[in-house]
Structure 1
Amino acid sequence: MANDPLDRVRAALKNPPGASSDFDLNPETVLPEGRRLRPAGVLVPILLDASGPRVILTKRSSALKHHPGQIAFPGGKQDPGDADVIAAALREAHEEIGLDPASVEVMGTMSMHETVTGFSVTPVIGYVTHPFTPTPELGEVDEVFDVPLAYLTQRSNYRVEARYWRGSLRRYYTVPFGPYYIWGATARILRGIAEVADQP
């Protein structure tokens, strides 16, 4: 239809950026040859409201052992029972935030992202077709919130920061929004979408 608010997302899916990694801004990092990455899928859920498209994100529980309190997409590693990484992303989104897979229209996938924790993450873009009230999984998700897609696809909202990690200075993307500090793999995946969606 004319003026489809998801046109830029559809265009990005037709011309996705290349594969990315947590090491993109650290070219001096030498990754081991023959490393084996574990497949995972994350859902980039997009809902429409009166203000336009919005992307659903989660704030991980501060009690978690890994990445406590960080902003993330719903998703996780592919289990033996998952048909593929898309199924893994939908299953995890159902478990983490109560999003029924039947309410998600899978629009497509973006290129793989390699994480410092050894995962090959496939971002799955999904349009939430029905009204949705999040139900955060106790013990894993502290909060579910959403951010305007227009904000996340504007490259000028991203900046590069750095901190020491395992004795080395590591640079990474951030895209802060209000009280939420979005950084690391989540910000890098969103930056990849912005690279192809932020066009005149």
Structure 2
Amino acid sequence: MSLDAQRGRAALTWSPDRLVKALAEPAQPTSDFDLNPGQTPPVASLRPAGVLIAFHEDDGRLVLTKRASGLRHHPGQIALPGGKVDPIDTDETAAALREAHEEVGLPSAQVEVLGLMPAHRTVTGFAITPVVAVIRGPFTPVAEPGEVEEVFTLPYDHVCDPTKYRVEGRIWRGVTRRYHVAPLGPYYLWGATARILLQLASRIPE
């Protein structure tokens, strides 16, 4: 068995302690340009944002959303709960928690924040800080009308297994762009969300 395969299989066991150890590992910021080094990132200042990587304490299933099809930006895409930092937010963590409450009905009191990951730079000009957390106690999601089409979960042994990810590409604004994907069933996990989750999966210890 290859080292990569061994690493993928070892990461299948759910444990919050593994996440804590992963966050302690050195890591560099990621970017939508990681797989497209020949393309020039925009020089405009990045807008801060936060997303919540929230695993259920019982089995590690990860809460994700499918954005409403009528939205102007990224309609129908799979995303982590979160959004840009508003004036009412003290920081990216506050923004992620606020947005998670608005988008999926997750009370902040049920969220134990374990730590932060380095920011991910998007092609649309955001610096997204991933906030890794555990959901404590029973939680029934409620999708935000008009913003979220569906709230669903993906199993820990999918999102945190590096071997589940691959690279695909498509034409965007006349240029071929490559990106990470980790689809499962009807859910096409890709782009910035997949890259952020792969960064976490790659740091989880054996």
Query: What's the TM-score once normalised by structure 1's chain length?
Result: 0.93
Are 2:56 and 1:47 equivalent residues in the alignment?
yes
Are 2:94 and 1:87 equivalent residues in the alignment?
yes
Match of 1:15 in 2: 25
The CA RMSD measured in Å over matched residues stands at 1.3
Code of the aligned partner of 1:89: A
Match of 2:173 in 1: 166
The structure 1 segments of at least 4 consecutive aligned residues displaced by more than 3 Å after TM superposition are none
2: distance between equivalents of 1:125 and 1:180? 21
In the TM superposition, 1:61-80 aligns within 5 A as 61-80=68-87
2:144 to 127, 137, 142: 137
In the TM superposition, what is the alpha-carbon distance from 1:7 to its structure 2 partner?
Answer: 2.1
Contact 2:67 2:78 in 1 (8 A): yes
2: distance between equivalents of 1:111 and 1:154? 19
Are 2:43 and 1:37 equivalent residues in the alignment?
no
* Matched position secondary structure for 2:53: strand
2: distance between equivalents of 1:59 and 1:172? 19
2: distance between equivalents of 1:86 and 1:142? 24
2: distance between equivalents of 1:12 and 1:79? 29
1: distance between equivalents of 2:123 and 2:162? 24
In the TM superposition, what is the alpha-carbon distance from 1:17 to its structure 2 partner?
Answer: 2.4
Query: What is the number of residues matched between the two proteins?
Result: 194
Are 2:176 and 1:149 equivalent residues in the alignment?
no
Q: Deviations over 1:3-53 (max 9, x none)?
A: 9711221111111521001111001012245x300000000111033xx21
Match of 1:122 in 2: 129
Query: What's the TM-score once normalised by structure 2's chain length?
Result: 0.91
Task: Note the residue ranges of structure 1 that are not aligned, 5 or more in a row.
Answer: none
Contact 1:16 1:193 in 2 (8 A): no
With 91-100 and 24-33 compared, the bigger mean Cα shift is at: 24-33
1:178 to 174, 178, 185: 185
Code of the aligned partner of 1:19: P
Task: Note the residue ranges of structure 2 that are not aligned, 5 or more in a row.
Answer: 1-12
1:6 to 16, 22, 35: 16
* Matched position secondary structure for 2:57: strand
